[in-house]
């Protein structure tokens, strides 16, 4: 760990600087000095200097800051979820969507959008709550079926049942989409992912979930290390594989589910961040977990910044940016690894 401490600290600082840059870049230019003044005045409840325009304050504090932070946290949450799935399933290509959480969440959201169902108590949380409930429900079905067919929850069984249920739920989703009519575009945009319109309450929900996920995952870091060698070896070394798998799958589903229902389906971050971290810092999970969170977060914040500035004022779906940037990067990482 000590060997990597310095480079890990540098990387975390770099990720924070990138996050700051993402907040500053946009159609309205905000200098670093102004941004720091605005943030410090807001945080410490001090009066704002008269030299700073009120609209600048509003753009930075009410729009860019929560949006960039939400993107960062969503990227971090997806990366953590990817770390879990890859280690537990002993498959470097497994993703946080393997258990069908995004398919389920998309179906839940689609039903709400198409039926125009309302539930006043939930207000603006209606879509995320239903998305999350459907996503989590799908994961529970996948896990229940896996345990039913294979009590030891072998990785191949989990992947296979996850795939089958995802395909089935996707088919239902297509069926619902066929009746979308005027809502088709809204549905499509939701599925492609976006951080547009994200406010402090989104950040406020994602932050505790991410902190909880990080702490729980660091607690399970050694279990992940051992489980990545296979179930039999993990059992032999004293890991309660069945319990650890259940806890970790549910945690991965929580992290992915909360992200998908707030921001839509955004791919590649969960795949790339853990891969990149393993190439740089090795596979020891105490390092992989913390660094994947920061690198995944920074990657998502940059992709979101690109999505809103590349064809400004028109915004493109962030899922498209992560895929366009992520696919070649992943191929490069993979080939680089093979050359070694």
Query: Which x/- pattern, by CB under 8 A, does the window 267-286 give for other proteins?
Result: -----------x---xxx--
Residues 165-184 binding other proteins (CB under 8 A) are none
# residues contacting other proteins (CB under 8 A): 28
Q: Does 308 bind other proteins (CB under 8 A)?
A: no
Site string for other proteins, 127-166 (x = CB under 8 A): ------------------------xx--------------
**Which is nearer to other proteins, 190 or 293 (by Cβ)?**
293
Report in angstroms how near the CB of residue 81 gets to other proteins at its nearest: 17
Collect all residues with Cβ–Cβ distance below 8 Å to 190 and sequence separation of at least 6: 106, 109, 113, 127, 264
If the CB atoms of residues 24 and 92 are measured against other proteins, the closer one turns out to be 92
Which segment (47-55, 234-242, 295-303, 317-325) binds other proteins by CB under 8 A? Answer: 234-242
Q: List the alpha helices (DSSP H) in the chain.
A: 2-24, 32-43, 54-58, 65-88, 101-115, 126-149, 155-178, 184-192, 200-219, 221-227, 231-236, 241-263, 269-281, 285-309, 318-339
| Residue 4 binding other proteins, by CB under 8 A | no
The contacts of residue 93 (CB under 8 Å, 6+ apart) are: 86, 271
Provide the 10 A C-beta neighbour count for residue 306: 19
Look at the block and give the residue holding tokens 């913390």. 290
Residue 309, both tokens: 């500035």
Query: Does 336 engage in binding with other proteins (CB under 8 A)?
Result: no
Q: Is 77 exposed, middle or buried (0-12, 13-18, 19+ CB in 10 A)?
A: buried
Would you count residue 92 as binding other proteins (CB under 8 A)?
A: yes
Q: Which stretch binds other proteins (CB under 8 A): 7-15, 100-108, 183-191, 221-229?
A: 221-229
213 vs 207: CA distance, rounded Å? 10
Check residue 5 for interaction with other proteins (CB under 8 A). no
Residue 235 interacts with other proteins (CB under 8 A)? Answer: yes
State the binding string over 61-90 for other proteins (x if CB under 8 A, else -): -------------------------xx--x
Question: 321: Cβ–Cβ under 8 A, 6 or more apart, which residues?
Answer: 303, 304, 306, 307, 310
Footprint of other proteins on this chain (CB under 8 A)? 86-87, 90-92, 151-152, 219, 222, 225-226, 228-233, 235-241, 278, 282-284
């Amino acid at each position: 760990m000590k060997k990597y401490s310095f480079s890990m600290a540098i990387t975390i600082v770099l990720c924070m600087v990138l996050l700051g840059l993402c907040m500053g870049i946009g159609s309205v230019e905000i200098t670093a000095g102004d941004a720091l003044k605005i943030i410090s005045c807001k945080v410490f409840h001090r009066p704002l200097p008269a030299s700073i325009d009120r609209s600048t304050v509003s753009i930075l504090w009410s729009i860019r800051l929560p949006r960039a932070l939400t993107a960062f946290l969503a990227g971090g949450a997806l990366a953590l979820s990817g770390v879990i799935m890859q280690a537990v399933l002993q498959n470097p290509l497994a993703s946080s969507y393997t258990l069908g959480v995004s398919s389920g969440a998309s179906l839940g959201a689609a039903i709400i959008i198409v039926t125009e169902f309302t539930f006043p108590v939930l207000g603006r949380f209606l879509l995320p709550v239903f998305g999350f409930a459907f996503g989590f429900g799908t994961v529970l079905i996948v896990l229940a079926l896996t345990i039913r067919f294979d009590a030891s929850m072998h990785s191949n069984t989990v992947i296979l049942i996850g795939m089958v249920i995802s395909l089935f739920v996707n088919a239902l989703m297509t069926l619902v989409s066929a009746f979308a009519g005027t809502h088709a575009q809204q549905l499509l945009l939701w599925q492609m992912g976006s951080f547009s319109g994200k406010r402090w309450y989104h950040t406020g929900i994602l932050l505790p979930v991410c902190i909880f996920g990080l702490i729980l995952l660091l607690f399970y870091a050694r279990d992940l290390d051992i489980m990545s060698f296979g179930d039999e070896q993990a059992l032999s070394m004293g890991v309660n594989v069945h319990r650890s798998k259940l806890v970790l799958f549910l945690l991965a589903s929580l992290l992915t589910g909360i992200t998908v229902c707030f921001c839509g389906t955004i791919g590649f971050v969960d795949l790339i961040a853990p891969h990149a971290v393993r190439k740089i810092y090795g596979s020891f999970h105490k390092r992989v977990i913390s660094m994947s969170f920061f690198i995944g977060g920074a990657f998502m914040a940059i992709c979101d910044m690109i999505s809103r500035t590349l064809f400004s004022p028109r915004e493109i779906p962030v899922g498209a940016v992560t895929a366009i940037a992520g696919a070649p990067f992943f191929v490069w990482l993979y080939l680089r690894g093979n050359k070694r």
